[in-house]
Structure 1
Amino acid sequence: MPQLEVDGATLTYDDEGPRDGDGVPVVFVHGWTANRRRWDHQVAHFAASRRVIRFDLRGHGESGGAGVKTVQELAGDLLALLDHLEIERFVLVGHSMGGMISQTVALSHPDRVERLVLVNSIARMTYSRGRGLLMAASTLVPFKLFVATNIQRAFAPGYPKDEIRAYIKSSADTPREVVMTLYGAMRAFDVLDRVGEIRTPTLMIHGYYDIQLPVKQMLRMAKAYPDATVRILDAGHELPVEKPAELTAAIDAFVSAKPS
């Protein structure tokens, strides 16, 4: 698998599909404690007709390195990879923290992002007093319990327990330093007052049962976007694996639509 050295990190990535395919490349960015395989269904679909890029964030999956403390620094990794691949313009699809990274890129390089898809993502994390205390307390429990509790909550009621256990194990393999530092980075992330600057056509697609990043917070963000389409699916926080076919179809319809 190809790799790129970026500021002390080794980024592992996939570059698939025809170089002369339909439209600009589609770039997929996974979320906190996940890896690039989260996008298997979507990549298999899009790589049949256009170039597709996905990568493991530093410290996740098969990428090495740590040290980053902000979402902005992760956005820098993504841009370094795209510059290395000589990809100037692209469709950007980000899940959860990957959506935060994607918004950061759309704000800093609006001329490069043709369309933006935010999956289960928000522009500012807002906690009620009670939930804030609960989340703060969760960081005091043993690391594996902290990870397991967060991943368990990410899926809608009724999702197969054996599959949830597999995702918990995968997430717990992410180094503790990376998990906890980027947990803090997500809590500190806040571009809600700036999203009105994003003129890029944007699809916001969210799970109705998402309690990690609730629908209400996404709708608050959507109100501020000049050009946003909103879709709500019958799922939790992990749309790429809970509703893969529905998510893929929604993204395809959005990125394939002719400009109005």
Structure 2
Amino acid sequence: MILNSIETGAGAPLVLLHGLFGAAQNWGGLAKRLGQRYRVLAFDARNHGSSPHAEGMDYRDLAADVAETMAAHGVEKARVVGHSMGGKIAMMLALTRPEVVERLVVADIAPAQYRADSREYVAAMQAMELSTGMTRREAAAQLTAAVPEEGVRAFLVQNLTFDGGQPRWRVGLDHIATGMPQIEAFNAPEGARYTGPTLFIRGTRSPYVREKHMDRIAELFPFVRHESLDTGHWVHAEDPNGFLALVDSFLS
């Protein structure tokens, strides 16, 4: 599958991969700043943003989408940065197609199984009544019971479009719902390792990367370096300057 992409800058190629219910545009200012030194390609994952909708959210399929899209852009090898679900895609790309990954940056996720709040979010989004003339604020209000955090509600309803006043989801919501067990899992190929330079960045106030994950990370990515920022899960959004400094230093 060829994914939708947003490209900026010139130089060595750098691929950015967003998290669940995100989109390439979420990299915004960071992509522009990185574009001062790199040819930045931010991809919408399948069933996200403006990329095609399709069944299957297995990370091997998602990584294959990235490799195919890189090739379509004439990119043989790139530095790859992924956050959350995008970090899992980046890890799987490195493990299954190491020849296309020059350096790997994984932001606040581990190669592990998670049971997060996302299933409840998906169910609430599917249950919403979308009516002509509805505003984004009114749509967000329908999520209040299932999603108490205002910021998360605002993030989720960014996936609504309002063509002709009729709201609709631009994400492949049903495909994501069916694929939630695959999104939560991470099944590395037997015996796979990525021996290129790897950086894991965790938020110290995030529950996603813990001491219990370190042995598995080292097993799959033996040339790993760990850094942390005083943030929650959204490391690149909560501390963009700190995140950029770590990434820029590592990539260069």
TM-score range, shorter chain: 0.7 to 0.9
- Structure 2 CA distance for partners of 1:38 and 1:220, relative to 1, 3 Å: farther
- 1:170 is displaced (CA, Å) by 2.3
Tell me by how many angstroms 1:236 deviates: 1.2
Matched letter for residue 168 of structure 1: L
SS at match of 2:75: coil
Could you tell me which residue of structure 2 aligns to residue 206 of structure 1? Answer: 202
In 2, Cα distance between equivalents of 1:248 and 1:152: 30
How far 1:186 moved relative to its partner?
2.0
Distance 2:41 2:202 in 1: 22
Determine the C-alpha separation between the residues in 2 that align with 1:106 and 1:14. 22
3-state SS, counterpart of residue 177 of structure 2: helix
Which of 77, 101, 124 matches 1:142?
124
SS in 1 for 2:99: coil
Q: Which segment is superposed worse, 114-123 or 63-72?
A: 63-72
Gaps of 5+ in 1: 1-5, 154-160
User: Which of 67, 83, 95 pairs up with 1:107?
Assistant: 95
- Residue 133 of structure 2 corresponds to none
Deviation track 1:13-47 (CA, whole Å, cap 9, x = no partner) reads 112212xx2xx211001111111122113211111
Alpha-carbon distance between aligned partners in 2 of 1:70 and 1:92, rounded to the nearest angstrom: 19
Q: 1:14 aligns with which of 6, 30, 46?
A: 6
Cα deviation for residue 103 of structure 1 reads 1.2
* 3-state secondary structure, aligned to 1:54: strand
Distance 1:30 1:44 in 2: 15
- Identity of paired residues, percent? 26
Q: Of 231, 238, 248, which residue of structure 2 is paired with 1:235?
A: 231
Name the amino acid aligned to 1:215. Answer: R
- 1:31 pairs, out of 19, 31, 34, with 19
- Write the letter of the residue equivalent to 1:84: A
Deviations 1:52-105 (A, max 9, x none): 111111211122312123111111111111111111111011111111111111
User: In structure 2, do the counterparts of structure 1 residues 187 and 165 end up closer, same or farther at CA, with 3 Å as the change threshold?
Assistant: closer
Whether the 8 Å CA contact 2:13–2:79 is kept in 1: the answer is: yes
| SS of the residue 2:6 aligns to | strand
Give the TM-score of the pair, scaled to structure 1.
Answer: 0.76
- The 1:248–1:218 alpha-carbon spacing in structure 2 relative to 1, beyond 3 Å, is farther
Are the structure 2 counterparts of residues 175 and 112 from structure 1 closer, same or farther at C-alpha, using a change threshold of 3 Å?
closer
Equivalent in the alignment of 1:245: 241
What is the DSSP-based 3-state SS (H/G/I as helix, E as strand, rest coil) of the residue aligned with 2:241? helix
1:50-69 map, 5 Å: 50-69=38-57
Asked if structure 2 preserves the Cα contact closer than 8 Å seen for 1:124 and 1:191, the reply is no
- 8 Å contact 1:35–1:61 — kept in the other structure? yes
> What corresponds to 1:157 in structure 2?
none
For residues 87-166 of structure 1, the aligned pairs below 5 Å read 87-125=75-113, 138=120, 142-143=124-125, 163-166=151-154
d(CA) in 2 for partners of 1:144 and 1:83? 35
In 2, Cα distance between the equivalents of 1:122 and 1:84?
29
Q: How many residues align?
A: 228
User: 5+ residue gaps in structure 2?
Assistant: 129-139, 161-168
For 2:181, the equivalent position in structure 1 comes to 184
Distance 2:206 2:33 in 1: 25
1:33–1:179 CA contact under 8 A, matched in 2 = no
**Do the aligned partners of residues 219 and 65 (structure 1) sit closer, same or farther apart at CA in structure 2, a change above 3 Å counting?**
same
In the TM superposition, what is the alpha-carbon distance from 1:194 to its structure 2 partner? Answer: 4.5
Q: Quick one: which of 172, 175, 198 aligns to 2:172?
A: 175
One-letter amino acid of the counterpart of residue 241, structure 2: A
Q: CA deviation at 1:164?
A: 3.7
Q: Write the distance in 2 (CA, Å) between the matches of 1:145 and 1:245.
A: 38
Deviation at residue 113 of structure 1 after TM alignment: 1.1
Q: Post-superposition shift, 1:141?
A: 5.5
Q: CA deviation at 1:144?
A: 5.9
